[in-house]
Structure 1
Amino acid sequence: MYTDSIQSKNIVAAKAVAGIIRTTLGPRSMLKMIIDNQGGIIITNDGHCVLREIEIEHPAARSLIDLSKTQDNEIGDGTTTVVVLAAEFLRIAEILLKQKLHPNQIISSFYQALIDVNFFLQSELSFSLEKNNIKDVVKVIMTSICTKLVGKFSRLMCELAIKAIEQMKNKKEVSNMKTFFKIEKISSGKIEQSRILSGIMFAKDIAHPKMKRYIVQPKILLLDCPIEFKKGESQTLIEMNEEDTWQKILKAEENYIIFLCNLLKNFRPDVIITEKGVSDLALHYLYKSNISVIRRVKKSDNIRIAKATGATIITSIEEIENHDFGLSDTFEIKKIGEEYFTFITGCKDGTSCTALLFGSSRDVLDEIERNLQDALSIAKDIFSNQKIIPGGGATELAIGNFLSEKSENQKNSSFFIYKSLSLAFEIIPKTLTENYGDSVIFQLNKLKTIHKQKGIFFGLDGRNGKIVDMRKINVWETCSLKMQLVKSAIENATLLLRVDRIISGLANKKK
């Protein structure tokens, strides 16, 4: 019997996961209060953030959480929509399975429908956006992030994202933004103070209080080695038979540190930044040599500094060459709030930048960071693929109508599968209506009628529940985002439909 099958249990688990985050979709979405495994409290309406924090054992449910994670990594937006769609595809597959259709028939028709939908999106529904028109780019990004918890700052996040992407867009490696871009959160000031810094910034102070905090046109040396006496990898015991042996050992250590400092002094660097430790004795000699030192920086920060300044990260002080140094216009240490931050600006490579986010608390800053990450992902998508489509459920309803018409050309079981799949896409306008609190049946029927009479650009304004032309209220999504959503949701649904048995590799613990 199907009701006892693994497919049935997998579908129930998938629908349960979608039910958790379905209310977080749209401008009138609800918030989730999450208690994480450390006992901290997170309040958010970000679908991926919610799923990331919950613990689920069922493998089918975990596959949907992985689906949301993949969507976040690939596109950066649509993490809630993709899970809701995948669960709805499984729900209509459940109905088809009860009608004695074989899973392989359903899977085959799903993939054929995916090909048809991609063609429809690219040829019939999308149109190109002029990426140099900043106003239009802002409108597309606003559609994505204005639904978030701190939506009133969405325009600021849009401006920050566009400025960051424009600064990095000349680099081929812009797809790997971590190399050129970082977000620094500062628990001080107002959100409106947030800005994009052209250069590198990280939370570190100089290692010696008397070292220079401001240097013009510094010569920068980056190290991945300590400036201190080398410690043994294992415990070392020394037997001393003479009174002055200990003093000789200390003197040998001091001489080695002086030797390292003299090597560094010969190259006349202004700033030394290392990922490892620096002894107090070395700091004293380097200070006397008029060299500022920052120690124990993160490897990721060191790599960013190297890319920005043109420096080479050195793993041994004895191997330093003249061409290993980096350059910038200024090096400065500033105190913001209660923390000290290092600023390296006017770098040789002008594409590196840092987002400075200000806020009253860590929770607010975390939510703003999620908003900015979404804005960055959409902005990057727009600059690489300029095709956009209407939002507000208009695209999903248009896809549903297209598949319904396409079903007339299908034979046998494919006809019923296409018809069912066309209804599944209605889950997005349904959810937007539900989350606003309006009548789903009335609004959906009205929207279908308007689509037939006035065209496919009409959708739901999630803020007031009205049916409007998306072109008038500037609600847009990128075509590549929607294509990835549909592709991922169908692939995940078909994957779970193929599973006919779950085998655990873990031993049963019955003791």
Structure 2
Amino acid sequence: MAQRQQPMVILSEDNERTQGEDAQDSNIRAGKAVANSVRTTLGPKGMDKMLVGSSGDVTITNDGATILNEMDIEHPAAQMLVEVAETQEIEVGDGTTTASVLAGELLAEAEELLDQDLHPTVIVEGYHEAAKLAHEAVDDQTLAVDLDDDTLEAVARSSMTGKGTGDVTVDTLAEPVVSAVQQVATDAGVDREDIHIHTHPGASTSATELIEGVVIDETPLDDAAPSQLAEATTAILDTDLEFDTGEADAEYNITDVDQLNEAIAAEEEELEGYADAIVDAGVELLFVTGDIDDRVASHLAAEEIVAFEDIGSSDADAIAAATGARQLGTLEDIEDADLGTTAALSVETYGEDEFTFVEGADAAHVSLFVRGSTDHVVDELERALNDALDVVIAALDAGGVVGGAGAAEVAIADHVRGHAASVEGRKQLAIEAFATAVDELPRTLAENTGMDPIDALVDLRARHDAQGRAGLVSTGRSGTVGDPVEEDILDPAAVKHEAVDSATEAATMILRIDDVISSDG
């Protein structure tokens, strides 16, 4: 009879290991906790969170991605749901709370299936099959409409509603958001880098305006420079305009006054040469990323050339896009093709701060100059506007729009549940569980709106069966079941597709983990 071998220990004592059901239970509970942390922010009547950093910095927001990024989350499974929100934000710019809540609900439903002895692999396969059905439902709900300005403004309003902006503010901001996107749109699509948001507190949100160009914090070097320019020939230099001392540390042995004067004269000649090259090129407006020597600045001012120094690289890129100027690393052989045109430049004062507005000739770069009463207000407005810009771009570039207010989720749950009966075996239970998880999104919307979630879900299903589309339309302090499209509540289809994908991938990845090994080393 063979001698029984003792189990081999391959992990050091510093490692901690959790296996089987304990590992699954820990991961699922962590994922559910993350989802629950943002659940109450979902929808136009969702609540805000106050996030206080270790240094006392306060952030007030209901943006899911911001909340999860600011939270100090250590559990590795919980971090995976944070990555869901990050992926959703990167890909389509909105729907982060939807994706996080859906991932948490998929885990909650899986927990019950595991208690019924369903193998994790069966649940994973069922979830992936249900996700394909969910995509079909979204495609079926995609509206056959022209994506004109009115439709896109409805998308922008739907994205911003409830994000600390107020209904009146939403109406005010939707138009400039769409105008910004349309002005930089090309046949190849929209480059998000061509739209910049610049915030400054101290005024009503209604003072927010669209600038067909760039807003920078810098002012002209010469205090006597004109504060207004029109149709100015523009150059951008990515260098310093100072005396070139070379890179090596060198010492010069000067033995008499004549040598000193010669050295000073050579330096002056070089600096004057910089100014002369700029003048000879016909430049009227100059932006330099580096420093400008005072003597060069004096020469430029004498020639009535308005100059700026220490321009940030991102601002320089934006000015180049707006004016058509090329960024030059040297003043040698400047050609007309290197120069651009600033349609209008103005230096404006807001309280104690000054900003320069650089408007381009072809509006290839635009900026939203965002105003708000306080720093907290403009910070939340910036987040809301970023989301609005992203969803408008997603609607234009990635597949149209669907009814919002939970209508797409009701359609997904109905479509998935309807096909579950045709699936044989235990996988059917997982597909039905997926539909139940999706149902939790309109249930949460109803609860956050002040409605009875069970009654609301029953009414939503009934209206969807009867008319093919049903959502929760907010009215005052509560809501009602109606057609969101008739109320101009629209979401990009891409947001729904991405939420399904990212939530399903995160949930199934967590479910496949049955062994957690952590090391203190």
Does TM, normalized by the shorter one, top 0.5?
yes
Q: 3-state SS of the aligned residue for 1:87?
A: helix
Whichever residue aligns with residue 12 of structure 1, its letter is: R
Alignment match, 2:206? 192
Alignment match, 2:232? 218
For 2:420, which of 407, 416, 423 is the aligned residue? 407
Superposed, 1:273-422 pairs within 5 Å as 273-347=287-361, 349-385=362-398, 387-422=400-435
Tell me, in whole angstroms, the C-alpha distance in 2 between the residues paired with 1:472 and 1:171. Answer: 30
Q: Is the 8 A contact 2:321 2:364 kept in 1?
A: no
Tell me, in whole angstroms, the C-alpha distance in 2 between the residues paired with 1:501 and 1:226. Answer: 57
Q: Is the 8 A contact 1:222 1:273 kept in 2?
A: yes
Q: Is the 8 A contact 1:146 1:154 kept in 2?
A: yes
Return closer, same or farther for 1:399/1:173 CA change in 2, 3 Å cut-off.
closer
Q: CA deviation at 1:47?
A: 1.3
Q: CA deviation at 1:59?
A: 1.7
Q: Is the 8 A contact 1:171 1:351 kept in 2?
A: no
Whichever residue aligns with residue 34 of structure 2, its letter is: V
Whichever residue aligns with residue 206 of structure 1, its letter is: P
Tell me, in whole angstroms, the C-alpha distance in 1 between the residues paired with 2:192 and 2:152. Answer: 19
Q: CA deviation at 1:34?
A: 0.8
Residue 259 (structure 1) aligned with residue 276 (structure 2)? no
Q: CA deviation at 1:213?
A: 3.0
Residue 93 (structure 1) aligned with residue 110 (structure 2)? yes
Unaligned runs of 5+ in 2: 1-17
Q: Is the 8 A contact 2:323 2:359 kept in 1?
A: no
C-alpha deviations, 1:268-314, integer Å up to 9, x for none?
Answer: 31111011111112111211222111011111111122122221111
Return closer, same or farther for 1:332/1:486 CA change in 2, 3 Å cut-off.
same
For 2:66, which of 40, 43, 49 is the aligned residue? 49
Return closer, same or farther for 1:306/1:446 CA change in 2, 3 Å cut-off.
closer
Q: 3-state SS of the aligned residue for 1:333?
A: strand
For 1:443, which of 456, 465, 468 is the aligned residue? 456
Alignment match, 2:487? 473
Q: Is the 8 A contact 2:392 2:492 kept in 1?
A: no
Q: Is the 8 A contact 2:229 2:344 kept in 1?
A: yes
Tell me, in whole angstroms, the C-alpha distance in 2 between the residues paired with 1:412 and 1:138. Answer: 46
Return closer, same or farther for 1:55/1:250 CA change in 2, 3 Å cut-off.
farther
Alignment match, 1:135? 150
Q: Is the 8 A contact 1:394 1:456 kept in 2?
A: no
Q: CA deviation at 1:91?
A: 1.3
Q: CA deviation at 1:224?
A: 0.4
Q: CA deviation at 1:3?
A: 6.8
Alignment match, 1:75? 92
Tell me, in whole angstroms, the C-alpha distance in 1 between the residues paired with 2:366 and 2:346. Answer: 16
Tell me, in whole angstroms, the C-alpha distance in 2 between the residues paired with 1:396 and 1:288. Answer: 66
Tell me, in whole angstroms, the C-alpha distance in 2 between the residues paired with 1:46 and 1:481. Answer: 15
Return closer, same or farther for 1:173/1:421 CA change in 2, 3 Å cut-off.
closer
Unaligned runs of 5+ in 1: none
Return closer, same or farther for 1:322/1:459 CA change in 2, 3 Å cut-off.
closer
Q: Is the 8 A contact 2:325 2:341 kept in 1?
A: yes
For 2:183, which of 167, 179, 185 is the aligned residue? 167
Q: Is the 8 A contact 1:387 1:480 kept in 2?
A: yes
Tell me, in whole angstroms, the C-alpha distance in 1 between the residues paired with 2:498 and 2:27. Answer: 23
Whichever residue aligns with residue 472 of structure 2, its letter is: L
Q: Is the 8 A contact 1:433 1:443 kept in 2?
A: yes
Return closer, same or farther for 1:220/1:503 CA change in 2, 3 Å cut-off.
farther
Q: 3-state SS of the aligned residue for 1:427?
A: helix
Superposed, 1:25-40 pairs within 5 Å as 25-40=42-57
Q: CA deviation at 1:406?
A: 0.8
Superposed, 1:223-238 pairs within 5 Å as 223-230=237-244, 236=249, 238=251
Whichever residue aligns with residue 439 of structure 1, its letter is: D
Q: 3-state SS of the aligned residue for 1:6?
A: helix
Tell me, in whole angstroms, the C-alpha distance in 1 between the residues paired with 2:468 and 2:513. Answer: 37
Tell me, in whole angstroms, the C-alpha distance in 2 between the residues paired with 1:331 and 1:437. Answer: 50
Whichever residue aligns with residue 373 of structure 2, its letter is: S
Return closer, same or farther for 1:145/1:111 CA change in 2, 3 Å cut-off.
same
Q: Is the 8 A contact 2:254 2:260 kept in 1?
A: no
Q: 3-state SS of the aligned residue for 2:40?
A: helix
For 2:29, which of 9, 12, 17 is the aligned residue? 12
Tell me, in whole angstroms, the C-alpha distance in 1 between the residues paired with 2:323 and 2:409. Answer: 47
Identity of aligned residues (%): 28
Q: CA deviation at 1:8?
A: 2.0
Q: Is the 8 A contact 2:399 2:494 kept in 1?
A: no
Tell me, in whole angstroms, the C-alpha distance in 2 between the residues paired with 1:223 and 1:264. Answer: 10
Tell me, in whole angstroms, the C-alpha distance in 2 between the residues paired with 1:412 and 1:103. Answer: 14
Alignment match, 1:158? 174
Whichever residue aligns with residue 159 of structure 1, its letter is: E
Alignment match, 2:468? 456
Return closer, same or farther for 1:322/1:166 CA change in 2, 3 Å cut-off.
closer
Q: 3-state SS of the aligned residue for 2:345?
A: strand
Whichever residue aligns with residue 91 of structure 1, its letter is: A
Q: CA deviation at 1:496?
A: 1.7
Alignment match, 1:147? 162
Tell me, in whole angstroms, the C-alpha distance in 2 between the residues paired with 1:127 and 1:32. Answer: 34
Q: Is the 8 A contact 2:130 2:431 kept in 1?
A: yes
Tell me, in whole angstroms, the C-alpha distance in 2 between the residues paired with 1:196 and 1:475. Answer: 24
Whichever residue aligns with residue 445 of structure 2, its letter is: L
Q: Is the 8 A contact 1:2 1:98 kept in 2?
A: no
Q: Is the 8 A contact 1:2 1:8 kept in 2?
A: no
- TM-score relative to the length of structure 2: 0.89
Q: Is the 8 A contact 2:23 2:513 kept in 1?
A: yes
C-alpha deviations, 1:456-492, integer Å up to 9, x for none?
Answer: 3222234413223334433222222211111111111
Alignment match, 2:13? none
Q: 3-state SS of the aligned residue for 1:345?
A: strand
Whichever residue aligns with residue 457 of structure 1, its letter is: R
Q: Is the 8 A contact 1:6 1:501 kept in 2?
A: yes
C-alpha deviations, 1:362-403, integer Å up to 9, x for none?
Answer: 221111111211221222222235633222223222222222
Return closer, same or farther for 1:392/1:58 CA change in 2, 3 Å cut-off.
same
Count, aligned residues: 500
C-alpha deviations, 1:307-363, integer Å up to 9, x for none?
Answer: 22221111122353332111233333232332222223251x333222111222222
Q: Is the 8 A contact 2:399 2:492 kept in 1?
A: yes
Moved more, 440-449 or 474-483: 440-449
Whichever residue aligns with residue 360 of structure 1, its letter is: S
